């Protein structure tokens, strides 16, 4: 392996990993607050991949405005799902399995509906950049990947600032360790949960747009969210930062293995290594244990 090859794969991997990082954070932020694996995240992602196609072909063809509209719509779709589907379960204080099964059901309904309606068609996003690649010396980089990476970095930075510096952000983080007590401080817990879904929806919207733009839009595009879930698990559930790091590491590893041994064997190797990693370090990269003293 020469240096250029490795650098090239790292570059590709970081862009790809950025998308996994967005997925991991979108998935993780809901897991933190409601403690269930939210597969409906993939449903929002799928819907947004189609919305992104529609907006960029029929409304605005510039990438940024089309992305912003898609992301915001993704946020609202997630809030709608929360209010219609998850809130009733929460109010009735059902076990976590209900959330989990419901979220899978939502994912299936969306997947099957889109398959039935538009499964036969091909939806290519419009060309959003004039020249597709740019080069640094020996390295060739896809411009769209660079753009995705920059947007991912900005979004994650913005989210970090929101979660650390605003009262609402602090309330979201507080509610992820105790969802009962914030109300005593005057926090509207229902609103905080809706807000969390809105954030997750925005992230699903961005991911859906990115995946739609770089892959083909299919009803099964939401399944790509699995990599994000894996990143969230490797990162240590409960740690959004860990999910981001794991997402990027996963992207790099995947790029290198794909380039070395081919795309068909890669998933097997990746899943096997995750298996081993979790045996060695079940709490993930940055998983911490908290104790509340009596």
C-alpha–C-alpha distance, residues 45 and 22, integer Å: 11
Q: Helix, strand, or coil here: 139?
A: strand
Q: What angle do CA 251, 25, 163 make, to 5 degrees?
A: 135
Question: Count of residues for the chain?
Answer: 294
Interaction mask 198-237, another protein, x per CB under 8 A = ----------------------------------------
- Give Cα separations from 156 to 150, 175, 176, 205, 282 (angstroms): 10, 20, 19, 14, 25
167 binds another protein (CB under 8 A): yes
Among 185, 264, 279, 280, binds another protein (CB under 8 A): 185
As to burial, measured by CB atoms within 10 angstroms (0-12 exposed, 13-18 middle, 19+ buried), residue 217 is buried
Whichever of 280 and 291 has its CB closer to another protein, that residue is: 291
187 binds another protein (CB under 8 A): yes
The first and second tokens of residue 233, run together, are 């698990």
Among 121, 122, 136, 180, binds another protein (CB under 8 A): 180
Number of chain residues interacting with another protein (CB under 8 A): 23
CB of 225 closer than 8 Å to CB of 40 = no
C-alpha–C-alpha distance, residues 125 and 245, integer Å: 29
Among 62, 115, 134, 177, binds another protein (CB under 8 A): 177
178 binds another protein (CB under 8 A): yes
- Tokens 């991949």 sit at which residue? 49
| Closest distance to another protein from the beta carbon of 158 (Å) | 19
CB of 33 closer than 8 Å to CB of 179 = yes
C-alpha–C-alpha distance, residues 178 and 279, integer Å: 28
Among 140, 142, 173, 277, binds another protein (CB under 8 A): 173
Give the H or E element holding residue 142: strand 139-142
Among 183, 265, 268, 272, binds another protein (CB under 8 A): 183
| Closest distance to another protein from the beta carbon of 174 (Å) | 4
136 binds another protein (CB under 8 A): no
Extended strands (E) in the chain: 133-136, 139-142
Number of Cβ within 10 Å of residue 52's Cβ equals 29
| Closest distance to another protein from the beta carbon of 176 (Å) | 6
Whichever of 104 and 174 has its CB closer to another protein, that residue is: 174
Strand partners, 141: 134
Whichever of 105 and 189 has its CB closer to another protein, that residue is: 189
Q: Helix, strand, or coil here: 140?
A: strand
Among 8, 56, 176, 255, binds another protein (CB under 8 A): 176
Interaction mask 86-105, another protein, x per CB under 8 A = --------------------
294 binds another protein (CB under 8 A): yes
Among 153, 170, 269, 278, binds another protein (CB under 8 A): 170
| Residues at the interface with another protein (CB under 8 A) | 167, 170-171, 173-174, 176-178, 180-188, 238, 290-294
């Amino acid at each position: 392996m020469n240096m250029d090859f490795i650098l090239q794969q790292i570059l590709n991997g970081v862009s790809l990993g950025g998308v996994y990082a967005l997925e991991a954070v979108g998935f993780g932020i809901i897991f933190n607050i409601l403690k269930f694996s939210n597969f409906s995240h993939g449903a929002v992602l799928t819907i947004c991949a189609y919305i992104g196609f529609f907006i960029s072909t029929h409304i605005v063809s510039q990438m940024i405005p089309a992305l912003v509209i898609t992301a915001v719509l993704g946020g609202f779709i997630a809030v709608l799902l929360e209010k219609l589907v998850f809130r009733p379960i929460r109010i009735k204080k059902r076990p976590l399995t209900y959330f989990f099964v419901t979220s899978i059901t939502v994912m299936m309904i969306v997947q099957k509906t889109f398959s039935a309606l538009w499964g036969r068609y091909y939806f290519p996003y419009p060309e959003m950049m004039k020249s597709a690649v740019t080069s640094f010396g020996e390295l060739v980089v896809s411009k769209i990947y660079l753009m995705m990476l920059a947007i991912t970095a900005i979004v994650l930075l913005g989210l970090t600032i929101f979660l650390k510096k605003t009262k609402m952000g602090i309330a979201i983080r507080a509610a992820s360790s105790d969802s009962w007590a914030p109300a005593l401080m005057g926090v509207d817990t229902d609103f905080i949960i809706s807000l969390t879904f809105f954030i997750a929806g925005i992230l699903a919207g961005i991911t859906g747009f990115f995946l739609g733009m770089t892959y083909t839009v299919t009803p099964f595009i939401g399944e790509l969210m699995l990599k994000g879930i894996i990143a969230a698990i490797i990162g240590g559930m409960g740690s959004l930062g860990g999910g981001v790091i794991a997402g990027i590491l996963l992207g790099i590893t995947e790029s290198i293995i794909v380039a070395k041994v081919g795309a068909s064997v890669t998933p097997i190797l990746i899943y096997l290594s995750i298996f081993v990693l979790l045996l060695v370090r079940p709490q993930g990269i940055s998983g911490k244990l908290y104790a509340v003293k009596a």
